[in-house]
Amino acid sequence: MNYMKNMVRVREVMNADYIVVDGLETVADAVRKMKAANALAAIIDRRNDDDEYGVLVPADIAKQVIAQNRAPERVNVYEIMSKPVIAVHPEMDIRYAARLFQQFGLNLAPVMDHHDSISGMVTYHDIVMRGLLKD
């Protein structure tokens, strides 16, 4: 089996199932936007060039808002997001992305291009369903 012939890169399996929000938005507003876009996650935009991206997933909202009986209209995204994010490069082999997910306990990661901008999102689902048996 020729490794290079069968290599699948992150760019081939990534998705666009995310939105970008400001960290000052409320969780309620972020959830409305996520629902409208059918997004798996919200990327929290950088405030400036020296800042880092954040990420908000439904599990964060369930654990830090719903389970704690907090009002989503009174919680800002920056209070519960994960920051900085661990991002992957679009040219990364999906096997290394899967290892990175395993090593750091991730379920998804933004795909960041050379210009430090988000070009997509990759999940375990994408890696398995779009990449495992790719011809």
Q: How confident is the model at residue 116 (pLDDT cuts 50, 70, 90)?
A: confident
Query: Can you give the CATH number for the domain in which 23 is found?
Result: 3.10.580.10
pLDDT attached to residue 11: 97
Which structural domain, as residue segments, surrounds residue 87?
3-131
At 4, the pLDDT band (50, 70, 90 cuts) reads: very low
> CA 119 to CA 91: how far, in whole Å?
12
Distance, in Å, from the CA atom of 21 to the CA atom of 55, rounded to the nearest integer, reads 9
pLDDT digits (tens, 9 = 90+) for 5-52: 578 999 999 999 999 999 999 999 999 999 999 999 999 999 999 999
Domain count, the chain: 1
